[in-house]
Amino acid sequence: MARENLVEYRSHLARQLSESQFDDDEARNLKIDTAIIASDYKMKILSVFFRENQNKFFGKHGTLCLGFMMQYLELVDGTPRKVVEFAMMLTDDTRQDAIQVLSGKYLLYSKFMPSHIPKTIFRSDGAGCFNCDLMKACQPLSTAWAGIEEAVCQITVAGGGKSILDGGFGQMSAIMNSASDMGNG
């Protein structure tokens, strides 16, 4: 079993290096009219208890957070400047399904996308809510729904590594824990 885990870990490192190099190249060659969108779910946000039992953690209660990270260029005094923004969609619907992802993408594209961005490169992991037939069928419809062309949809292999979006989730968790400690949660 240890040998299998070691082989899996080594292949994970190779995939992560390859994907990181691809991501870096794509970000370096980003066009002024395109945004790179990364999306992932954070684990359920639960109320803080003195002692949590498994039923509370694995049960259907809690708040889900669907996160989006946008990378795009904007012109500042004629010079392109990279901008990175995060958008988080919180819901008490714990299904983590394609309908939630489509709703989140619609809100992101129609309400939060900068006006000079007509197309996106969308990235996510291989979870079923991102990699199902409904998501694939709806990809060409984003232009009609929100006026944004989803030019590329990249789905990585499930469990294929962490992205900067995970760091954004970590920062949000720290803020929520601090608010909870102050009695605001």
**Which domain covers residue 94, as residue numbers?**
31-181
Q: What is the CATH number of the domain that holds 169?
A: 3.30.420
CB-CB contact of 114 with 72 (8 Å): yes
**CA 160 distance to own-chain centroid:** 14
- Single-letter residue type at 93: D
Residue count of the chain, please give it.
185
pLDDT value of position 107: 93
Please state whether the predicted TM-score (pTM) of the whole model is above 0.75. no
Q: What is the DSSP string of 105-162?
A: HHHIIIIIS-TT--EEEEEE-S-TTTSSHHHHHHGGGHHHHHS-EEEEEEEPPTT---
Reported as type and span, the H/E element at residue 29 is none
The first and second tokens of residue 97, run together, are: 């399904």
How far is it, in rounded angstroms, from Cα 124 to Cα 147? 21
Between 18 and 145, whose confidence is greater? 145
pLDDT tens figures, 136-148: 899 999 999 999 9
Structural contact between residues 12 and 160, judged by C-beta atoms closer than 8 angstroms: yes
pLDDT surpassing 90 at residue 106: yes
Instruction: Report yes or no on 11 lying in a domain.
Output: no
- Residues ≥6 apart with Cβ < 8 Å to 166: 40
Residue at 139 is within a domain: yes
Q: Show contacts of 21-25: CB within 8 Å, 24+ apart.
A: 23/163
Token pair for residue 24?
Answer: 């870096």
Q: Are 166 and 71 in contact (CB under 8 A)?
A: no
Average pLDDT estimate for 169-183: 62
Q: Considering the domain boundaries, does residue 45 fall inside one?
A: yes
Question: DSSP assignment, residue 98?
Answer: H
Q: Give the total number of structural domains in the chain.
A: 1
> For residue 17, is it within any domain?
no
Give the Cα separation of 34 and 118 in Å (integer).
7
Position 47 in a domain: yes
pLDDT, one tens digit per residue, over 44-79 is 665 555 555 555 555 556 678 899 999 999 999 999
